[in-house]
A and B are shown apart, each in its own frame.
Chain A
Amino acid sequence: MDRALKHIVTVIVAGVAISSPHLAGARDLERSLEQVEVKARRPLREIGVTLTRIDSAALHMSPAQSMADVLAYNSAIFVKSYGRASLSTVSFRGTSASHTTVSWNGLPVNSPMLGMTDFSTIPSNFVDRADLLHGSSSLSENSGGLGGAIRLSTIAADSESGFSARYTQGVGSYSTFDEYLQLSYGGEKVSTSTRIAVASSANDFHFINRDKKENVLDPDGQIISQYNPRETNRSGAFCDINAMQEVKVDMSNRDRLTFSAWATRSRRELPLLTTDYASIGAFENVRHETTLRAVATWTHIAGSLRTTARGGYIYSSLAYDYSRELSPEVMAQLTRSRSRVQTLLGQVSAEMFSADRRWLFSGGLTLRQHFVKSSDRTATDADMLSTAYNVGQAELSFDASVKWQPVSRLGLSVMLREDLHRDTWSAPIPAFMADYTMTSDRTLSIHASVAHNYHYPSLNDLYFMPGGNPSLKSEHGWSYDAGLSWAKTLSSKLTLSASTTWFDSRINNWILWLPTVKGFFSPRNVKTVHAYGLELNAAAFWLPAPKWQVKVDSHYSWTPSVNVGEPMSPADRSVGRQLPYIPRNSASLTATLGYGPWSLTYQWCHYSRRYTMSSSDITISGSLPSYFMSNIALERKIEIPVADMAVKVLINNMFDEEYLSVLSRPMPGINFEVFLSISPRW
């Protein structure tokens, strides 16, 4: 066990070891108690499921954070981030970013072109509930989540809660400005919620460039010494605008209609590498995105039968422009990439409990149709030089499951999915799950599952020009997991919970994009990967004294993800080695200390060394050392006659650590942001 691991265990034990009694707390803290209850008394539809539910307080900690930040500090899944407002992907259980499926209010939001989701584009304030479904548990949502699934959802205003409003403004380092407005109305039958977020920053932080040296020359032009320059992050500015509208209509006691629409418009510059010697005025490297996601869901409840129909639409337009100065005053547009993606979703599902509520039968049908037009057109009028694809692809999926609780302590679940992808039916995708409550007070339970899963190639994998490979096979494999959960309310003042899950999966036909001798990349099915490991969670909620609250939530995962395929040649040293950019150890912790209107939140995360080579070589140029990251936030709530206000000071990277998440991508040192929130009383 290395030093980092010892630190992690110390923190987790410290988090769990809190003891003593007393009292209920604020609304957010009460929600975390609910979370513990869910784990202890597992609903029938969650039999055997390994679920991490992100606390709502973590989701709404600040308008400056994206879901990538929330996941980094509130789970042990690996977040690979190129920096704020830059590509941030996540991977569960040692799998790749495209092996995590993501849905928002039931609408799948993975890019059909890339297969993955950029979590830096999802403001955490636009999510009210985030569930992480680990491994085979993701099959309850859809197929493709070889690592897991993330289920994001929003909650319109509570019924009959009346009007409410909240406005938050943040001002921070590097000319960063965050604005967030939420207007809600909860009526007897109709509830609405409107959210608007605007974030912008020059993002021009300074850093010591350890990858470069500047020369000091003598009068003859000879180098007499060198030093690491202090540089400014170049081409990192961004402006993101997000708006969301939700409407919930309770048409009757049995029928509910919800509608959500979320629009995004962003302009993000792509920062230069730390090894780039270009001059600042000589290039443009920028990405524009316009996206609309809309979903309507109708739910009808008739006795024990619940029927849901859902329709959704996604429009996404992405533009990437890269221009450079070729010679003085001559700029050339080297890349002009455009893509337009439209996705239509139709879904019906039903579930029915038996009269004794020991059986739950469910089934569903999902149809998705993608229309993708992608071009990577150089600035020329010669059509033959345009590389593009324009395809439509339909995906159909059936699922059926039976869940049974023969005795109150035992739950069994069988699920079967069948997918139609590119005119070919997949083999049936089965999943078996079970859990058993070991103690009469339901504090201790075990769960296990076994499942087969498929991940289909993305449209870029198949059709990208040049390099797309239409003959790619789907990635697939069996996965197994088993775990133990414990949760106990020791007194009215102290609740503790902990869980651990072992998992093991083998993924065949792993897809990698590799160079070709013709100078471009092309995807191939090249590897078999054995991903296995352990996940640990521990949480505590403690009210040590009147007005005092302590909450600790910690996560740790050990995720060997090893290439076990055949060597590509006699010299291949990748077999038996950890996959690139998958840390073996990940951990996070969020602790909150509250006293009356004050609260102090500490966030911490750790990733162990990440290799960038398939052979796991530790070379200076080719691996990323482990790092720890710490943030802290101090908040003071202020009540005035006409409004509730709050002032929050957030310090990111509080120990001013120099670190890298991705090779050659600079990250900011210590930085600050101050937020002022106001919620008028109507």
Chain B
Amino acid sequence: MKLICRLSATAMICATMLSVPGCMKWEHGEGLHAFDAGDGVLIGCEGNFQYGNATLSFYDPMTRDVDNEVFLKANGMKLGDVVQSITIDPDGSRAWIIVNNSHVAFAIDTRTFLEKGRITGLPSPRYMHIISPTKAYITQLWSNSIIIVNPSNYSTVGYMTVPDMLPAIGSTERMLSLGGYVYVACWSYQDRLLRIDPDDDSITATLTVAPQPRSMVADYKGRIWLLCDGAYPGQRGDARLQCVDPETMEIVADYTFRPTATPSSLCTDPSGRLLYWIDGDVWEMSVDETSLPVTPLIASRGTLYFSLYVNPASGEIYLADAIDYQQPGIIYRYTPDGQLTDQFYVGVNPSSFGWTGR
């Protein structure tokens, strides 16, 4: 009897242990949210590399309401690893979210945030530029080719190879349309501006600029402004702001920043008369000025400005602070003359924006 009691006790202990397993409560895709958003700003938050924690936020400037993780809430799946850019269809109906390390471009409805389609298998996508309803370019990092896609049926149509570019250090980055051509800045380990004829996808001209032109805008005179890192990784060199005449493909203005400067996120106001960028503080410069500004428009307040965006509808400035790169970043909304009007938290490392107004 005593033995039976002991064995029973042993069995009870084992039963206790076996009852402990529990399970992880998976916190994905429960209760999809039905959005009906108005005009507003989509904010792509990169997340952290290899975490797969990129998110998408939506901000309504009228109501000042912000919704975070809208892609996941609407679709019940993650957006992916490192959101790189947002491109809005010309008619405002779809937003293209390029998720670099997930190798995918998602098209979502700008009102409901529901997925409309996707282009997968993209090696290292960076930016998308829509040329027509059936043609768009997608630039890439670590590649010497630009991908040609058909946005209407979410398919890859072909590739455009950049001559004299080694694939492993290849890079094509920002694009813009001007005078019937598409201009492409070649960034990482590169120093070229390409002119592409979208009719036959041929490169018709190239221009050597300062090393690593990372951001690019056009001004009201139809000139192209390039903000260049000024050096390749591991090398020394001062950042440069260069202005290019696209017709002659010549550099018509060239400004060198102080040696410690690390400018980024070049933008223009809606009129194309003002340039903005981040370099610790936020700087503003008229495209007609002949020297770099010495006084910032918005001074840093211990903030770590990560990206900058100018709303094409209102000219308001949206400044993203990544804080420590490991927590939800904060967006500061400023009037064009630098007055703070709102601030709100979004996802980790907010870096890309898109205006959904139609």
Q: Do B153 and A221 have beta carbons less than 8 Å apart?
A: yes
Is there a chain A Cβ closer than 8 Å to B338's Cβ?
no
Flag whether A425 is at the interface (Cβ < 8 A): no
- State whether the Cβ of A387 lies closer than 8 Å to any Cβ in chain B: yes
CB distance from A631 to the nearest CB of B (A): 11
Q: Check B90 for interface membership: any CB of A closer than 8 A.
A: no
A492 at the interface (CB under 8 A from B): no
B323 adjacent to A466 (CB under 8 Å): no
Q: A385-B189, A628-B22 are in contact. Are A14 and B321 (CB under 8 A)?
A: no
Within 8 A of B (CB), among A626-649: 626-628, 630
Assess the B69–A619 pair: CB atoms within 8 A: yes
- Are the C-beta atoms of B13 and A18 separated by less than 8 Å? yes
What's the minimum C-beta distance from B229 to chain A, rounded to whole angstroms? 6
**CA distance in complex: A588, B18 (Å):** 13
Partner of B103, one of A7, A277, A604: A277
Interface of A is mostly: loop
Residues of A within 8 A of B256 (CB): none
Asked whether, in the complex, the Cβ of B168 is within 8 Å of the Cβ of A334, the reply is yes
Q: A387: which B residues are within 8 A, CB to CB?
A: 233-234
Chain A contacts for B64, CB-based, 8 A = none
Partner of A223, one of B22, B116, B140: B116
**Contact string, A322-336, partner B, CB cutoff 8 A, digits 1/0?**
001111001011100
Nearest Cβ on chain A to B118's Cβ, whole angstroms: 7
Residues on the A chain within 8 Å of B154, using CB: 221
CB pair A275–B78 under 8 Å, yes or no, is yes
Known: A278-B103, A324-B123, A544-B7. A604 touches B169 (CB 8 A): no
A625 engages B24 (CB within 8 Å)? yes
What CA separation (Å) do A10 and B15 show in the bound complex?
12
Interface flag for A580 (CB, 8 Å): yes
Task: Indicate if the CB atoms of B302 and A613 lie closer than 8 Å.
Answer: no
User: In chain A between 63 and 108, which residues have their CB closer than 8 angstroms to a CB of chain B?
Assistant: none
Residues of B within 8 A of A175 (CB): none
Is A622 on the interface with B (CB-CB < 8 A)?
yes
Q: Looking at the complex, which one of A277, A327, A655 makes contact with B102 (CB distance below 8 Å)?
A: A277
Q: How far is the CA of A295 from the CA of B121 in the complex (A)?
A: 48
| Contact yes or no, B7 A625, CB < 8 A | no
Residue in A closest to B105 when the chains form the complex, CB atoms: A277
Interface contact B6-A568, CB-CB below 8 Å: no
Taking CB atoms, residues of chain B closer than 8 Å to A602 are 14, 17-18
- Determine the chain A residues whose CB is within 8 A of the CB of B102 once the complex forms: 273, 275-277
Asked whether any CB of chain A lies closer than 8 Å to the CB of B44, the reply is no
Residue in A274, A332, A548, A568 whose beta carbon sits within 8 Å of that of B323 in the complex: A568
Which residues of B have CB within 8 Å of A26?
none
| Contact residues in B for A545 (Cβ distance below 8 Å) | 3, 6-7
Please tell me if the beta carbons of B24 and A570 are within 8 angstroms of each other in the complex: no
* Distance A226 CA – B114 CA, assembled complex (angstroms): 11
CB pair B143–A332 under 8 Å, yes or no, is: yes
In the complex, which of the residues B50, B77, B117 contacts A212, with contact meaning CB atoms closer than 8 Å?
A: B77
Contact between A569 and B167, CB atoms less than 8 A apart: no
Q: Which of B10-64 contact A (CB under 8 A)?
A: 10, 13-14, 16-18, 20-29, 47-48, 50-55
A615–B103 contact, CB under 8 A?
Answer: no
* Contact residue among A18, A20, A275, A544 (Cβ-Cβ distance under 8 Å from B81): A275
Question: CA A548 – CA B121 in complex, angstroms?
Answer: 59
**Quick check: is B352 within 8 A (CB to CB) of the other chain?**
no
B20 near A7: Cβ-Cβ < 8 Å: yes
Q: Please give, as numbers and ranges, the residues of chain A lying within 8 Å of B79 by CB-CB distance.
A: 275, 621
Taken together as a complex, chains A and B put the C-alpha atoms of A552 and B154 apart, in Å, by: 58
Instruction: Given A221-B154, A614-B326, answer yes or no on A620-B28 (Cβ-Cβ < 8 Å).
Output: yes
Partner of A385, one of B29, B103, B232, B322: B232
Select which of A11, A658, A664 is within 8 A of B26 by beta carbon. Answer: A658
Interface residue ranges, B against A (CB under 8 Å): 3, 6-7, 9-10, 13-14, 16-18, 20-29, 47-48, 50-55, 68-69, 72, 75-81, 99, 101-104, 114-118, 120-124, 140, 142-145, 153-154, 159, 161, 166-169, 188-189, 229, 232-235, 262, 264, 278, 301-304, 321-328, 330, 343, 345, 347-349
What 9 A-B pairs have minimum CB-CB distances, sorted nearest first? Answer: A664-B52, A615-B327, A627-B24, A277-B104, A275-B52, A614-B326, A544-B6, A466-B233, A379-B168
> What are 24 residue pairs bridging A and B, where the CB atoms are less than 8 Å apart in the complex?
A11-B17, A212-B77, A215-B115, A223-B114, A223-B117, A277-B102, A277-B120, A282-B121, A326-B167, A466-B234, A545-B6, A569-B323, A570-B302, A573-B327, A591-B13, A593-B14, A602-B17, A614-B324, A620-B72, A622-B348, A627-B22, A630-B20, A660-B24, A664-B78
